[in-house]
Amino acid sequence: MRREGKRTGVFTRRALLIGGAQLAAFGGLAAKLYQVQVVQGGKYATLAETNRISARLIAPPRGRLLDRGGDPVGGNNQNWRALLIAEQTENVGATLDAFARFVPLADHERARIEREVRRHRRFIPVTLREFLTWQEMAAIEVNAPDLPGILIDVGTTRQYKFGPLLAHVVGYVAPPNEADMGGDPMLALPGIRVGRAGLEEHHELALRGRAGAVQLEVNAVGRVIRELDRQEGVPGADIQLTIDATLQQQVLDHLGDESASAVVLDARNGEVLAMASNPSFDPSLFNSGVSQAQWVEWTSNRRAPLIDKASAGLYAPGSTFKMVVALAGLEARAIGPSDRIDCPGYLDLGDTRFHCWRKGGHGPLNLRGGLKNSCDVFFYETARRTGMDHIAAMANRFGLGVKLDIELPGVRRGLVPTREWRIAQGKPWNIGDTIVHGIGQGFLQLTPLSLATMAARIATGRAVEPHLTRAIAGVVQPGGEATEWPLMNLPERELRMVREGMWAVVNEHDGTAPLAKLPFANIQMAGKTGSSQVRRVSREAREHGFKSENLPWEFRPHALFVAFAPYDAPRYALSVVVEHGNAGAAMAGPIARDIMTDVLNRDPAALRDTPPQRMAGGSAA
C-alpha cells in the first residue's frame, strides 16, 4: 500500500508539471494570438491586403507638338506589340517557329526572347516584337489558333508626320536610360519614351504627363486574378510651336540639295516661323532603334545631317557683320554720317596689305555707299578707328556671341572675340586682328540663328529674342507682342542709315545683290550679302587670277545673306547660309529672295489662333 501511494504521488507531481507546462505553452500561444490578432491585427491585415493587391502604374499618352496652325508635328500612333505567355503553350520553341512564319525573327531576337522566358515566371508576358505593321498584326490574329500563348497588345508610339522636315527643331524620343530615371517609376514602364533632342527634350516634363494607376488582385505567386480599381493618368500637355510647317517645307525646297540652313523670324516679336537645316534625318528611327548601318551613314556624311546647322553651326559671318561695325563706329564717333573713306582697292598696315574684294577699289564712299558696295577698305578703316572691344560690345547687343534664350538644347552662342579673350589664349591682340574682324573674318564664329536675330533687331530697333513656343496646354506664352521686347537704345537716325545701306544693296542697280530683289511692285527687301573664307588666299594666288569656284567644295567660301522686309514696315527677318556656296550675292541672295517671297505671300505671322489643349480621346496625331 505504501509503495502504491508513492507511485501515485509521483504520478500526481508529474501530471502537475506536465499540466503546468501545457498551461504555460497555451497561455503563451494565447498571448501571442492576442498580440497578433488584437494588438497588431490592423498591421497584419494591411500586409495581407498588400500581398493580395498589386498596384501598377499606367503610362499616360505623351503630349503633342503642334505647329502654329494646330497641325500635329509630333503625335502618337498605335503601336501593336506581339506578346508571348509561356504557360499557355506546351512548346515555346514550336510556337516561336510558327510565329516566325508570319513575322520573321532574327537569331539575336530569338535568343533574347528565350532568355527572357527563362528569367521570368511563365505567366509573365514577354515581348516578341514591337511596331508591327497592320498586315503582320492581322496575320497573327487570323492565325491565333496556331499560335498558342501569343497575343496582341496595343500601345502607342511617337509619330512625326513631317519626318525630316522638322527633325532638328522637334527632336526625337528614345527609351530612357538609368540616368533618366531620377526616381520616377513611370520611366520603367514598358514602351515609355523620353525626349532626346529639340523641343521633345526641352519640354520633356510637360509632354510626359503624370502616370495613372491600376489595382489588381493577385494570388500568392503574383498571377493576376482580376482588376479592382483604375485611375487614369494625366496626359502630357500639348505644346504649340511658332513654326509654320508649310513655310518650313517651302524653305527646305528652296535650299534644295545644298548643305545649308535658313532661319525666318517674325521681326517684331522674335517668333521663329521656319528654321531649316539641310540635310536632315528621320527622327522616328530613334524611337524603334537606329541600325548600325544607318548610324554609320549619318556620321560619315560630310554634310552632317545630324547637326542642326541653324542653331549649332558656326560660321564666320563675312560682310553680313558690317552693319554691326558701322553702328559701333557711329556710336564711338569713329565715323560720322557724312564721313567718306577712300578705297584704292587695299589698305596697307606696315608691310601687310589688306585687299578689297574689288581689285580696282571703290573710291571715296560714305556709310551708305560702303554698305551698298560692301567695300572692305571702308570697314577695315572703320574697325581700325573704332577698336575691337567696342565692336564686340555692339555685336553682343545684337545677339551675336551671346546666349540666346531659345528653347533648344545644344544652341551654340558662337564667338565674338575681344582683346581680353585673345590675351587669355596666351597671345597678344594686334591692330591687324581688328582690321580683319571689320569684314567679319578672323576669329568670329556665329550661328545662322544669331544672324537672323541681328537682322530683326536692326529692322525694328527692339531687342527681340528668338523663341519657338507659342502656347503650353492652351496657355499663350509671353513674348508674342512687339511691345514686350525693350528698345535697343540706339539713335533712330543711325539705325536708319544702316537700313538705307541694306536697302541699296538689293534695290539699286549697282548694289551687290540685285538678284535678291523681290518680284513685287510695292514691297521691297533690305539685305546684306556675305562670303566667308574657310582658308587663307595667298598674295600669289590673287595675282594669278585666283577663283574660289575652282577649289574643291570643302575649300570654297561659305555664302551668306541676311535680310528683312517689308522695308518700310519691317515684319520678317531671315538669314541664309550655304556651306561652301562661294558667293553670297550669287548663291544665298536668290535663295533669300525666294524664301521672303513665300513668306510675304503666306504671311504666317497672321496665323495667331491658339488651338484647344488637346482633341477628345488623347493625342492621336
Strands 475-476 and 469-472, by their bridges, are antiparallel
- Give the global pTM: 0.81
Which of 154-158, 391-395, 568-572 is predicted with the least confidence, judged by mean pLDDT?
154-158
**Are the C-beta atoms of residues 73 and 241 closer than 8 Å to each other?**
yes
Average pLDDT over residues 567-582: 94
pLDDT for the residue numbered 615: 37
pLDDT for the residue numbered 85: 84
**Are the C-beta atoms of residues 75 and 64 closer than 8 Å to each other?**
yes
| Per-residue pLDDT tens over the stretch 463-508 | 999 999 999 998 989 888 888 999 999 999 999 999 999 999 999 9
Domain total in the chain: 2
Q: List 531's β-bridge partners, or say none.
A: 559
For the chain, what percent of residues have pLDDT higher than 70?
A: 84
Domain-embedded: residue 11: no
Average pLDDT over residues 251-255: 97
Domain-embedded: residue 205: no
Domain boundary (104, 128, 148) is at 148
Cis ω on the peptide bond leading into residue 590 (within 30° of 0)? no
* Residues recorded for the chain: 621
Question: What SS3 state is found at 159?
Answer: strand
Which of 2-16, 18-32, 116-130, 283-297 is predicted with the least confidence, judged by mean pLDDT?
2-16
Higher pLDDT, 534 or 436: 436
- State the Cα–Cα distance between residues 433 and 422, nearest whole angstrom: 10
pLDDT for the residue numbered 618: 39
Strands 173-174 and 194-195, by their bridges, are antiparallel
Average pLDDT over residues 394-402: 97
| Per-residue pLDDT tens over the stretch 51-89 | 556 566 677 888 999 999 999 999 888 778 888 888 888
Domain-embedded: residue 39: no
Q: Is the pLDDT of residue 110 over 80?
A: yes
- State the Cα–Cα distance between residues 481 and 413, nearest whole angstrom: 25
- Give the range of the structural domain holding residue 386, as residue numbers without chain letter: 317-446
> How large is the greatest C-alpha to C-alpha distance in the chain, in angstroms?
153
- State the Cα–Cα distance between residues 239 and 133, nearest whole angstrom: 29
Average pLDDT, the chain: 86
CATH number at residue 348: 3.40.710.10
- State the Cα–Cα distance between residues 329 and 598, nearest whole angstrom: 35
Q: Is the pLDDT of residue 418 over 70?
A: yes
Domain-embedded: residue 302: no
Domain-embedded: residue 211: no
- State the Cα–Cα distance between residues 495 and 271, nearest whole angstrom: 22
Cell of 530: 556675305
Q: How confident is the model at residue 296 (pLDDT cuts 50, 70, 90)?
A: confident
Domain-embedded: residue 368: yes
Phi, psi (deg, nearest 5) at residue 465: -110, 135
Q: How confident is the model at residue 522 (pLDDT cuts 50, 70, 90)?
A: very high
Domain-embedded: residue 424: yes
Q: Is the pLDDT of residue 348 over 60?
A: yes
**Are the C-beta atoms of residues 215 and 53 closer than 8 Å to each other?**
yes
- State the Cα–Cα distance between residues 94 and 300, nearest whole angstrom: 42
Domain boundary (446, 469, 484) is at 446
Number of H helices, E strands in the chain: 23, 21
pLDDT for the residue numbered 40: 58
The closest alpha carbon to 380, from 360, 352, 408, 415, belongs to 352
pLDDT for the residue numbered 324: 98
Domain boundary (390, 420, 446) is at 446
- State the Cα–Cα distance between residues 538 and 541, nearest whole angstrom: 5
Question: What SS3 state is found at 73?
Answer: strand
Residue 94 amino acid letter: A
In Å, how far are 89, 155, 413, 595 from 276, measured between CA atoms?
Answer: 52, 32, 18, 11
Domain-embedded: residue 112: yes
- State the Cα–Cα distance between residues 465 and 185, nearest whole angstrom: 37
Higher pLDDT, 119 or 49: 119
Average pLDDT over residues 96-118: 89
**Are the C-beta atoms of residues 208 and 64 closer than 8 Å to each other?**
no
For the chain, what percent of residues have pLDDT higher than 90?
A: 54
Q: Is the dihedral of CA 586, 589, 595, 597 positive or negative?
A: negative
